């Protein structure tokens, strides 16, 4: 038994290795969960929208008469999914990436300045870091001898300790408004929050993209909710109508094909006993004995077909 389990495990490992070789993007567990999250979100959108187009007959009729209505709805769905993938695949702006770019640019420009006497602005690898506020308009050029630490400390009031602005988790100097994300295990510029559905943080670089995605997703949810309410409203109204008139869906739709209902005039409900009694029998009467309802006589049908008068309403004939 142990040998069989070992063979099965070895075969399973080889199959996984072959699969990850074909799809290297899924070899990392974090990326696997991220892709699984994206597939789940797309499937949720397709399922909720697909239910409408499969079961909602009114929407199908509207699509045939006014195709532009459905085209706008599907265009919003497509734009929402595209914006989701754009937002989820964009970087929020990690402090480590900016710090590395600043330091690398500083080293490159210093070497270029030593090799030639040309100004640093003409060398490749120049990086601009705009500092707003009281130092608005000041740019950090790659040729500037200041390091990332000096650049960050200049953003704080004089006398600020470097220990107070250094992240204790990733050991980098945090500019103001930056925060360490424990899910991403990185410091993020202008940290907003870690979005579970995106699988990444919302920060300086993707905040605008996230806002557009939220707006499109909200509009899509509201539109889909209205379509579902209209679909449920039509079905609930028809179900209530059948209960109050003591009919079935088959009798309502196929009344002209049922032999014993062909001779009955329209707007006449042969099995109705009145609204209140129909409702009471449907909701309150529970019996283990099956009830067989005979067809009404011609006299009863004439009575049911007779139009209501004010006296009939006062006498609760409809009930």
Active site amino acids: 195
- Calpha distance 106→243 (Å, rounded): 80
- Residue 30 corresponds to which tokens in the numbers above? 């974090």
**Is 222 in contact with 110 (CB distance < 8 Å)?**
no
- Calpha distance 120→140 (Å, rounded): 12
CA distances from 34 to 37, 39, 45, 121, 223 (A): 5, 9, 17, 41, 28
Closest residue by Cα to residue 98 from 157, 169, 164, 147: 147
Q: Are strands 193-195 and 200-202 parallel, antiparallel or unpaired?
A: antiparallel
- Residue 307 is classified by DSSP as P
Which residues on neighbouring strands pair with residue 131, listed in sequence order? 138
């Amino acid at each position: 038994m142990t040998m069989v389990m070992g063979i099965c495990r070895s075969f399973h490992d080889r199959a996984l290795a072959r699969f990850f070789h074909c799809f290297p993007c899924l070899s990392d567990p974090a990326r696997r969960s991220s892709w699984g999250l994206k597939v789940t979100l797309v499937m949720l959108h397709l399922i909720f929208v697909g239910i409408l187009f499969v079961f909602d007959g009114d929407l199908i009729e509207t699509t045939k008469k006014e195709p532009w209505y459905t085209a706008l709805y599907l265009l919003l769905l497509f734009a929402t999914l595209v914006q989701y993938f754009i937002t989820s695949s964009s970087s929020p702006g990690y402090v480590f990436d900016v710090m590395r770019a600043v330091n690398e640019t500083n080293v490159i420009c210093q070497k270029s300045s030593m090799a030639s006497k040309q100004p640093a602005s003409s060398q490749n690898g120049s990086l601009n870091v705009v500092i707003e506020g009281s130092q608005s308009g000041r740019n950090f050029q790659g040729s500037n001898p200041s390091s990332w630490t000096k650049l960050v400390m200049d953003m704080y009031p004089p006398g600020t300790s470097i220990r107070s602005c250094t992240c204790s988790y990733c050991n980098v100097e945090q500019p103001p408004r930056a925060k360490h994300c424990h899910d991403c295990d990185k410091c993020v510029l202008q940290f907003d929050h870690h979005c579970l559905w995106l699988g990444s943080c919302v920060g300086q670089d993707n905040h605008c993209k996230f806002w557009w995605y939220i707006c499109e997703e909200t509009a899509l949810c509201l539109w889909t909710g209205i379509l579902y309410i209209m679909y449920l409203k039509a079905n609930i109204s028809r179900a209530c109508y059948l209960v109050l008139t003591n009919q079935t869906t088959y009798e309502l739709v196929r009344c002209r094909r049922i032999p014993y209902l062909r001779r009955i005039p329209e707007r006449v409900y042969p099995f109705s006993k009145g609204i209140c009694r129909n409702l009471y029998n449907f909701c309150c009467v529970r019996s283990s004995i099956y009830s067989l309802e005979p067809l009404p006589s011609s006299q009863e049908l004439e009575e049911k077909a007779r139009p209501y008068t004010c006296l009939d309403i006062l006498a609760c004939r409809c009930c």
